[in-house]
Amino acid sequence: MRISLPIINRFKQIILKNKTFFLAMHLNPDADACGSMLSMYCYLKSLNKKVYLFSSDKLPENLYILPHSSKINSEMPKKNKFDVGIFFECSTPDRAGSKISELNFKYTISIDHHKTATKYATLNILDFKSPSTSEIIYRLFKQLKFKIDKNIAILLYAGIITDTGKFHYPQTTPQTHIIVSELLKYRFNFSKINDNFFLRTTYQNLKLLGRAIENMELYDEKIAILILKQKDFEEFKAGFEHTENIVNFPMMLDSVEVSVLIKEDKERYNVTFRSKEKVDVSKIALTFGGGGHRNASGFKISRKKILYNELKDKILIEIKKQL
């Protein structure tokens, strides 16, 4: 689906008339948000713009394969004024981090494909039918007649291939395959990218997976809840960035409709959902202030607000409403 001409023209107007840009992606960054943001970085640098890249959370190790990922900052910039703030997969600005409110922008742009996205920005480039934000960026670049290069092809491929689960998820469209076929013409090592995201892991990830599966609880054989406590992360010298794909494992059980991973640190609970066709977990995440897809979503909540058992019970109540 083409991006409307008024949106394209407004985007060009905002980009061309401004000089300083702040780019941010959602908490717990993934390849789609990261690939989209870094692709936009390449576009803006081609126009000689000044760009500050930001991620509130540390990047998972598998994202460091992406070109320009080393340029992403985990600290807020010293200056608090930018001409333009561009947010990738942030349903609201604070999804990029609580300190974003300290910054001032003349204009803001939101680019997202999650149906929980709100129209908070000066310009909202939203497509809820797109299987990935990277696909939106590809179409945007095509309509801008911006010539992508090998690095951008890698970034967009990584975002598309991960957010479609290697074309497994139902949001995948014929257009998705056409776009990927165009990206593959740049002759990068796509097997290496696939291995990085779907086969490669870390010692910490394996240890945390074992602990999570060991403590897994099943409710009515349809709901699996995994918990990783603060002491587990301390024992394995691990962080939230080492929990990639753990939430997906209970989905291998035929009876399981929803998998929930609750991660605990000193300050918060980080909750991730996966579901099969029956349950829309984005609605559940939204009730807790989060967001995401119908079958993959999540939220964060302060440990000061709720105890673990209370949180678990509330999550179960929300899930059972849809079962």
Is CATH 3.10.310.30 correct for 204-320? yes
pLDDT for residue 107: 98
pLDDT for residue 320: 96
pLDDT for residue 214: 97
Long-range CB pairs of 249-255, under 8 A, 24+ apart, other chains included: 249/209, 249/212, 249/213, 250/216, 250/224, 250/226, 251/224, 251/276, 253/221, 253/224, 255/221, 255/222
DSSP code string of 26-71: -SS--HHHHHHHHHHHHHHHHTT-EEEEE-SSPPPGGGGGSTTGGG
> What are the boundaries of each domain within the chain?
5-198, 204-320
5-198: CATH number: 3.90.1640.10
Cβ-proximal residues to 189 (8 Å cutoff; 6+ apart), any chain: none
pLDDT for residue 228: 98
Q: What is the pLDDT of residues 51-63, one digit of tens each?
A: 999 999 999 889 9
pLDDT for residue 115: 86
Among the residues of the chain, which ranges form H helices?
A: 5-17, 31-46, 133-144, 150-163, 174-183, 190-198, 203-214, 230-235, 281-287, 308-320
Q: Do domains 5-198 and 204-320 have the same CATH topology?
A: no
Q: What is the pLDDT of residues 224-247, one digit of tens each?
A: 999 999 999 999 999 998 998 999
Which positions of the chain have pLDDT values less than 50?
A: none
End-to-end CA distance of the chain: give it in Å, rounded: 33
pLDDT for residue 277: 84
Distance CA 228, CA 134 (A): 31
| pTM (predicted TM-score) | 0.86
